[in-house]
Structure 1
Amino acid sequence: MVVALVLSLSLAFSSAHPNQVICEHLKENECAFAVSSASRRCVLEKTEQDGYQCKTSDVSVDKISNHIETYACLGACGLERKTVGISSDAFLESSSLEKICSPGCSNNCPNIVDLFTNLASGEGTSLSDLCEQSANPHRKAAEISSSEAALGPASSDGDAEGKPHRKMEEVLSPDAAPGPNAGLEMHTLEIQVEAPSPSPSA
């Protein structure tokens, strides 16, 4: 009788345990940056019906499981609760990168730090290097100015009028390859205008 009671209480506790995170069971405002009980990152995806669905990704996480990110960390790291997919776009925005590198985020939100550390590694750099560049904007601006001076006039690729942007590795590296128009000489076209003949006197 006692054994049966203990067993029933154990089953009731395990079924109602709040830390069993299953991505497909999470709501829209719980999915992004969550980690399942199997240590897989949850990802929010848009459906064909213009809705959202939480799914389990193939991205594994070390030493973190059963985790739904807190509003405190999302605010400290400058992230949105309804973020779709997993992307490194935050690295391209200086304000977003500053938030991720801030002490409030980097010292208190290991789940987010782990995510962006791996994203930076996938881009061929490190989060610490990106944070150092973010903390020294004057040095970064000097590197970009020096690079532009070495390349000469900017090419038509990557301007701000709807054309493709430069890749992140090109923006971060001062050794970016010159554009297709770099080094071309400018030629002045001379046009001779014939002076009008004087009108006959009356």
Structure 2
Amino acid sequence: MHVEVPKVKWHSLREFLQHYLMIVLSILTALGLEQWIEHAHHRHAAEHASEQINTELGNTLRDIQAAIDMDEKKLEPLIALDTAISDDVRKGLSDVEINKHIREQSKGFTLAINWPAFNSQAWDVAVANQSATWIDADHLHRYAVAYAALRETANWTTHNATLALNAPRMIDLQTRIRLGKDVDPMEFLSMSQQMIVSTRGTIQYLKDASTPIKAALDPIGQ
């Protein structure tokens, strides 16, 4: 049996190769363009998420500092009054004299602890829509540490900050002092110590939370 191989003209083969290369280049171009668009989308999403997170953390940091300033301002006269009344008790002064000192020095103190709202909406959104995964790894780590510190501080203020406080009794004592009525000096000192310890603990937690937030917002680290 005789088989004759068909002859292919050179120019036909060249046209075929040209056509084939054009198809390959078109596919590669399309793939490259798709990857570029996807990369641009991810970069834009990461930049937007970072901007929102920076704004949220910046506002939270300012609120934390404002709460610290207010708590320290309220704590100072309370410590001074606690020290003065403790000295009166050690000296053996009568309850009448001690109550006189309490009324004279009580105008400058307030029984209250302040802390800000620990917002995390921007971070939660970035995690939910996965834009957080496109943020630079180092920057993402600093964000995660900052929000972890906020969660820990939020847990403290929710569950532990007022754990040592006898709030109803404090209100009762504060009301009696405001109305000029006598109170038990030892009970007053117990109340003041509860507030001092709780306020100091809250201030420290707020300061500890500020450190990783500042690191996350540090432009040098970005």
When normalised by structure 2's length, the TM-score is 0.28
When normalised by structure 1's length, the TM-score is 0.30
Higher Rg: 2
Q: Which structure has greater helix proportion?
A: 2
Q: Which structure has greater strand proportion?
A: 1
